[in-house]
Structure 1
Amino acid sequence: MEPNKKRGHKTLKIIGIILLILFSVAVIFFIKGKIHERRPWYDDDYFDDLKTDAVLEKKYSGRGSFDTACTEFKSDNSKIDTIRVFYPAELADSNRSYPMIVSVNASGTRARNYMAVLDRIASWGFIVVGNDDPQSGTGKTASQTLDFILNIGADSDLYGKIDKNNIGIMGYSQGGAGALCAVTNFDNGKMYKTIFTGSAAYPFLAHNMGWDYDVSKVTIPYFMTSGTGKTDDAGVTDITKDFAGVCPLEAVITNYNSISDDVEKVRARATGAEHEDMLVRSDGYMTAWMLYQLCGDEKAAKVFVGDDAEILHNSNWQDIEKND
C-alpha cells in the first residue's frame, strides 16, 4: 500500500475511533440523564438539613401528624404522563373531606423527582396532587390535572373526600409561572383559594418562554418567595431588557405592588439561597401558609400575621413586605 493511502487509512481509523468514543460518551450521558430524571431527588428526611432558629419554621418544615399513602393515575395526556396523589392514610376510612394542594413542576422536574416533599406536605392533612409534566409554564397541564382530580370516579378512595372550598396551588420556578397561569388564565382557576410561588419566573423571562401571566389578576391570598443568590437575582440594571436571573427582587416588588391591597399578600426572599435551593428553603413557610389559608390554623398564621409575625424576625428571610 502506498504511504499516502496508509496515512489516509490510519486517519480515517482514528476519526472512526474518536466518533465511537464521542457516541459512547453521549450515550452514557443520555442514560445517566434518564436515570436522574426518573429517580427521586430527595431523601425522606431531607428536611432535617434545614438550619433555622425559628420555632415555627422548624415545626412546619418537618412532618405532620398524619400517616400517608399514595396513589397514581396514568394519564392519556403524554405531557402529564402520570398523576401522583399523596394523602392522609386515614382518608380511605374517613367520612370527612380534606383540603387539597396542586403542585406545578419546575423546569425539567416531574412529581416523581420530589415525591418525598409531596408526601411530607400530605402528612399535615392535605391531599397533594402532582403530575410528571417537566414543562409546566403555561399552566395548562395543572388545569387539566385539577379537572381530572375533581371529577374522580366513585371507584377511587379520593371520591367525595376533596374539600372543594379549600384548594391551593403551589409552583416553583417555571412552575411558579405555571401556577399563576393556572389561577388566572383558565376557567377552573376560580377553584383555588390561595397560591404560593417559589422563585416564579419573572414576567420578562416568562414572556420570552411563552408563559405569559398577569399577576394583577390574582385575587386570592398570595405568598411569593425568591432567593437572594445570583441565579435568582443577577443584579442587572434593566430587568425588562436583560435576563436578570429567574426571580429578581425588583420583579418581586413589582408583582407584589400589582396585586390589589384588598388581597392578602406576602413577599419574602430566602437569605443566601440560590434558585435551586428554594424548594427546600421555602418548604416550611409554604406549609404554614397553606395551613393558615386552607385550614384556618391559628398557630400557622403567626408566621405571617401581625407586627410580631415570625417571618419578620427570622434571619433566614429578608426583604419582607406584607399587608396583614
Structure 2
Amino acid sequence: MQDLSRRRVLQAGLLTAVSAGLLSRTTAAQAGTIEAHFAVPGPWAVATGTSGGHRLYHPADLGAGGLRHPIVTWGNGTAATPDNYPGLLNRLASWGFAVVASTDTTTGTGTEMLAALQHLVGLDADPSSPFHGKLDVTKVAAVGHSQGAGGSVNAANLSGGLVTTVVPIALPAPIWVSPGDAFSVAALPCPVFFMSGTSDWIISPSSAVTGYYNQAAHGAAKAMLKGAGHNDIQNTGGGFLGYLTAWLMYQLRGDALARGAFVGSPPQLLADTAWQDQATKGLA
C-alpha cells in the first residue's frame, strides 16, 4: 500500500434515546429521529489514503473492539472523481465502513468498481497490510452516483455474490444509458435502495426510479428527496446521507434502529415528509 495518509474528521456524539415527549409525537416525527441519528458523523475517526490507484476512506483505528469493517465500493458520476464526494465518503468511514473508491471518471461498466473492491479484499488477506483480518468481506455494498449508479448495479451483477447490497443514487433513465454501460436491475441478486431527487426530473425522474424498483426481485426501497437535483450528493452529500447510512447499517451491520427506517408498520422512511414517492418491498 502506498501513500497512506491520515487525517482526522470531526466526531459527533450520536443522538440520545428518544424521550417520552418524542414518543407521543406522530410517526412522521419518529421517522425524522432515525434519519437524524444517521445524518451526523459516526463515532469513528477517519483516515484516508491511496492503494493500487484507488482512494481509501476508513476508520483510523482499524479493527478496534474486534469489529470487522464492512466494505463499500464507490462509483463516481461522469467526469467526477472521489474529490467530488468528500461528505459522503468520509461520512461512511465515520460509521465504521471501509470505503474504496475508483478514481476513474467513467465507472458505468462496473468493472472499475469491482476491481477496486477486489483490491481491498486482497488487502484483507495480505499479512503485510494494516487491513489484514480487519474487513468483513461477506458484507459488501456497491454505491454509486449517476453513471456510477449504473456501475453499482453492474458491479453487483459481475461480483459472483461478493456484493450483498446496492445503492444507486440518481440512476439515469434508460434513454441516457449508453450500450456499453447497460445494466440489469432485474438480474440483481441482492437488496437495492434507489435514491434520487425530485428536481432531477431530466436524468433520474421518479418514473424511471419506479420502473427500476418494480424490476428488483430481492428486496428494495426507493425514495425521492424533495428539492434535490442530480448532483446534490456531491460535496457535503446534502440530505441523502441519513437514509443512505441507515440502509448500509441495516444491510451490512444488522443495526436494529436503522432497520426501522425500512421495515415496520409502516417503515419510517414512508412517513418522512422530506421525501416523496417512497416505497419498500421484500425486506426482512
TM-score (norm 2): 0.82
Residue 63, structure 1, aligned to residue 18, structure 2: no
Q: Could you give the per-residue CA deviations for residues 170-219 of structure 1, whole angstroms, max 9, x where no partner exists?
A: 111111011111111x2x252011111111122221135x3100110012
RMSD over aligned CA atoms reads 2.1
Distance 1:163 1:92, change over 3 A: closer
Q: Which runs of structure 2 are paired with 1:95-110 in the superposition (5 Å)? A: 95-110=66-81
2:185 aligns to what? Answer: 215
* Structure 1 residue 203 corresponds to structure 2 residue 166: no
Inter-partner Cα distance in structure 2 for 1:189 and 1:131: 19
Alignment coverage as a number of residue pairs: 251
Deviations 1:4-33 (A, max 9, x none): xxxxxxxxxxxxxxxxxxxxxxxxxxxxxx
Aligned residue in 2 for 1:148: 119
Partner residue in 2 for 1:291: 249
- Say if 2:202 is the partner of 1:254: no
Letter of the structure 2 residue corresponding to residue 268 of structure 1: A
Deviation track 1:111-157 (CA, whole Å, cap 9, x = no partner) reads 13323421221111111111211111111111111111111232210
- The question of whether the paired residues in 2 share the 8 Å contact of 1:198 and 1:224 is answered with yes
The aligned amino acid for 1:253 is T
2 CA distance for matches of 1:96 and 1:107?
A: 34
- Other-structure match for 1:182: 155
Higher Cα Rg: structure 1 or 2?
A: 1
Cα contact 1:112–1:132 (8 A) shared by 2: no
Whose relative contact order is higher, 1 or 2, with alpha carbons under 8 Å and at least 6 apart? Answer: 2
Say which SS state the counterpart of residue 215 (structure 1) adopts: coil
SS in 2 for 1:151: helix
Shift of 1:291: 0.1
Q: Give the Cα separation in 1 of the matches to 2:147 and 2:43.
A: 31
Note the alpha carbon deviations across 1:46-90, whole angstroms, 9 max, x for none.
x9xxxx9712212211101112222211x4xxxxxx311121222
Contact 2:260 2:268 in 1 (8 A): yes
Equivalent position of 1:281 in the other structure: 239
Residue 181 of structure 2: SS of its match in structure 1? coil
- 2:185–2:215 CA contact under 8 A, matched in 1: yes
Gap runs ≥5 in structure 1? 1-43, 76-81, 234-244
In 2: Cα distance, 1:122 partner to 1:171 partner:
15
**Cα distance in 2 between the residues matched to 1:246 and 1:114:** 19
In the alignment, does 2:95 pair up with 1:124? yes
> 1:220 touches 1:264 (CA, 8 Å); kept in 2?
yes
